[in-house]
Amino acid sequence: MTAEVPIRSEAVHGFGELRSGHLGVRLARTAGEIDALEALRFRVFFEEMGACPVPESAARHRDRDRFDAVADHLIVIDHAIGSGPEGVVGTYRLIQREGAARVGGFYSAGEFDIARLVSFPGRILELGRSCVDASYRSSAALQLLWRGIAAYVFLHQIDLMFGCASLPGTDPDALAPELTYLYLNHLAPPALRPRALPARHVEMRRFPAASIDPRRIAAQLPPLIKGYLRLGGFVGDGAVIDADFNTTDVIVLVKTDLVTDKYYRHYERQLRNALI
């Protein structure tokens, strides 16, 4: 059942594991670990968050699509449970330009016009399908995922990363404060700014600036979006309703010099060891 998603050994080679107590983060190495992270994604996205699976996913209880085969998969492992598939408690999907080309483009292109990102002259990385088991949604697991991304960025010399980030629910009026805040305070510069596809574009500026409390709204954003913004991230113009996943998506982009500078200062020795 897992043979459809091959392991990209050339990327796994040279990428070690970062540890924090009994938790560790590294790239998935086996078909069993790929199967475990897809099972975790199914539990979180479909059973917990109310997404609507396609029949094949529903039958297998796995979240899988064509992008998985060309991606690298970060996993958080709880070694107190086990050091293989049984210990997978968090994951993040990473797709580079070469992988996207093999399947006709990036996942984000189904929702946003990312031509300006694709034409960026440096190395680019799409992030997606991030989730953590409900029992592990603490700062420790999330910080490990970010540290894993930083190590991956070092290894592959990534210059720009981007991806869809979700707000819960599909009612943009209910999310008006968050969407307005993001548009007014974190809109990407024009040279890099992606835009929601015309047929799916949802206006983000829904309130006058004076009617929102930026500090309060920033505090209630989902942790993933907060993490991007802390690293100096920007959002594109327009949101997209994803009825299948029961979310409203924005696209976020981060120039990775900010990521590497921050994490290199804090984890220089560990990051070096992870790349040995």
pLDDT in tens, 20-43: 999 999 999 999 999 999 999 999
Cα-to-chain-centroid distance, residue 15: 19
Structure-model confidence comparison of residues 7 and 252, the more confident one: 252
pLDDT at residue 186 in the model: 97
pLDDT at 5 over 60: no
Average pLDDT estimate for 182-205: 97
pLDDT at residue 14 in the model: 56
Residue 184 neighbours by CB under 8 Å, 6+ apart:
205, 209, 212, 214
Establish if 25 belongs to a structural domain: yes
pLDDT at residue 66 in the model: 95
In percent, how much of the chain has pLDDT > 90?
74
Amino acid at the residue 216: R
pLDDT at residue 11 in the model: 52
Establish if 4 belongs to a structural domain: no
pLDDT at residue 210 in the model: 85
Tokens 């990102």 belong to 117
pLDDT at residue 272 in the model: 58
pLDDT at residue 9 in the model: 46
Q: Quick check: 124 and 158 in contact, CB under 8 A?
A: yes
pLDDT at residue 56 in the model: 87
Gap between the Cα atoms of 99 and 83, Å rounded: 28
User: Domain limits at 160?
Assistant: 9-274
Q: Which two tokens stand for residue 79?
A: 């070694």
CATH number at residue 106: 3.40.630.30
φ/ψ of residue 193, rounded to 5: -75, 115
pLDDT at 275 over 80: no
pLDDT at 168 over 60: yes
Residue 242's beta-bridge partner residues?
Answer: 247
pLDDT at residue 200 in the model: 97
Q: How many helices (H) and strands (E) does the chain have?
A: 10, 11
Q: Which two tokens stand for residue 138?
A: 């603490």
Establish if 3 belongs to a structural domain: no
Average pLDDT estimate for 123-145: 93
pLDDT at 2 over 50: no
Average pLDDT over the chain, rounded to an integer: 89
Gap between the Cα atoms of 105 and 122, Å rounded: 17
Establish if 243 belongs to a structural domain: yes
Q: Quick check: 221 and 195 in contact, CB under 8 A?
A: no
pLDDT tens per residue across span 73-122: 999 999 999 999 999 999 999 999 999 999 999 999 999 999 999 999 99
Establish if 187 belongs to a structural domain: yes
Q: Quick check: 98 and 40 in contact, CB under 8 A?
A: no
In terms of DSSP bridges, do strands 112-113 and 72-78 run parallel, antiparallel, or are they unpaired? unpaired
Q: Which two tokens stand for residue 200?
A: 């799916």
pLDDT at residue 155 in the model: 86
Average pLDDT estimate for 119-143: 93
Average pLDDT estimate for 112-135: 96
pLDDT at 65 over 50: yes
Gap between the Cα atoms of 104 and 204, Å rounded: 29
Residue 29 burial by CB count (10 A; 0-12/13-18/19+): exposed, middle or buried? middle
Gap between the Cα atoms of 91 and 76, Å rounded: 6
Average pLDDT estimate for 7-27: 76
pLDDT tens per residue across span 194-223: 999 999 999 999 988 888 899 999 999 998
Beta strands (DSSP E) in 151-246 are 160-168, 195-196, 234-235, 240-242
- Nearest alpha-carbon partner for 162 in 200, 199, 219, 118: 118
Gap between the Cα atoms of 93 and 243, Å rounded: 21
pLDDT range class, residue 257, cuts 50, 70, 90: confident
pLDDT at residue 54 in the model: 86
Structural domain tally of the chain? 1
